[in-house]
Amino acid sequence: MRIINTKVKVGIILFEYDIFVQGFPGKSPTHGGLGWSSIALLSQNDQNIIIDVGSFGVRKLLFQKLHEKGLTPNDITMVLLTHTHWDHSVNWNLFPNATIVVGEVDMNWALNEPTGHSDVPELYIKELDRSPQKRLVGHLEEIVPGIVAHQTKGHTPGHLAYSVDNGDFDIIFSGDAAKNRAELLSRNVDMTLSLSDSLDSIDYLWNLWRKKKDNIMVPGHDIPMKLVDGKPVYLQKREAELQCWFSDNLEDLTDVKLVD
């Protein structure tokens, strides 16, 4: 997987920015949500921040990506969750030394969702609620210098996007407030609890994106983009692939590339 490896200046702090796992803009009509969400790492000295942590299927890949950076889960100092859905939040408990940042409104909502009623992983959210690692945050709260939470509700009632200010350009992690390029461009969304709130959030994200010429948008289920002449342009090549056992032996794998 191709990795962005850019030195990012956040105020006086330099962050290294990596996309560990690319988000994928799709769902399955036969097998439900794929849950292939974006996972990113921001590093600066001994500060390592992961933005969204994915679900069970991505664990080995996540450990491998950390290993390639010379890191272990113990080195992660902070996890920023955009929202409490399973495909973004379940792996929070892999990082014993991290502060787990989550929207206060989203936590209160998730804790009161009836079992099986939504994409909330009920038990993991209950565990997070009683964990001393939890840090609840709200709209426009500065998490660490240069990183700000933005309430972008609709997909969930307390969804947060995060902006990382580097002086010259910001990186905006939209989570599922804008899951992919199609939602940003069409200004319409799939899977929301409030369409009007979601449309307001899309407008809000566009305003953040246009603030500086070279701002980068990282959607919850798509690859990073930049605006060129006002139009989103992908900054990476999409890498998504299935390996299928359709024949009579294990060696003969059929590769299915999920690319546009």
Residues of this chain that bind Zn ion (CB under 5 A)? 85, 176
Q: How far is the CB of 16 from Zn ion (least distance, A)?
A: 27
Q: In terms of CB distance, is 6 or 194 closer to Zn ion?
A: 194
Q: How far is the CB of 142 from Zn ion (least distance, A)?
A: 24
Residue 14 and residue 220: Cα distance in Å, rounded?
Answer: 24
Q: In terms of CB distance, is 170 or 176 closer to Zn ion?
A: 176
What region, left, alpha or beta, does residue 36 occupy, with left being phi > 0 and alpha being psi -120 to 50 degrees?
beta
Q: CA-CA distances (angstroms) from residue 139 to 58, 123, 158, 171?
A: 29, 26, 9, 17
Q: How far is the CB of 85 from Zn ion (least distance, A)?
A: 3
Question: What are residue 170's DSSP bridge partners?
Answer: 165
Q: In terms of CB distance, is 42 or 90 closer to Zn ion?
A: 90
Q: In terms of CB distance, is 85 or 153 closer to Zn ion?
A: 85
Residue 125 and residue 50: Cα distance in Å, rounded?
Answer: 18
Q: How far is the CB of 108 from Zn ion (least distance, A)?
A: 17
Torsion angles phi and psi, residue 146, rounded to 5: 95, -15
Residue number of the CB closest to Zn ion reads: 85
CB 103 within 8 Å of CB 137: yes
Instruction: List the structure tokens of 192.
Output: 């929301």
Q: How far is the CB of 50 from Zn ion (least distance, A)?
A: 17
Q: CA-CA distances (angstroms) from residue 33 to 36, 39, 209?
A: 8, 17, 27
Q: In terms of CB distance, is 124 or 169 closer to Zn ion?
A: 124
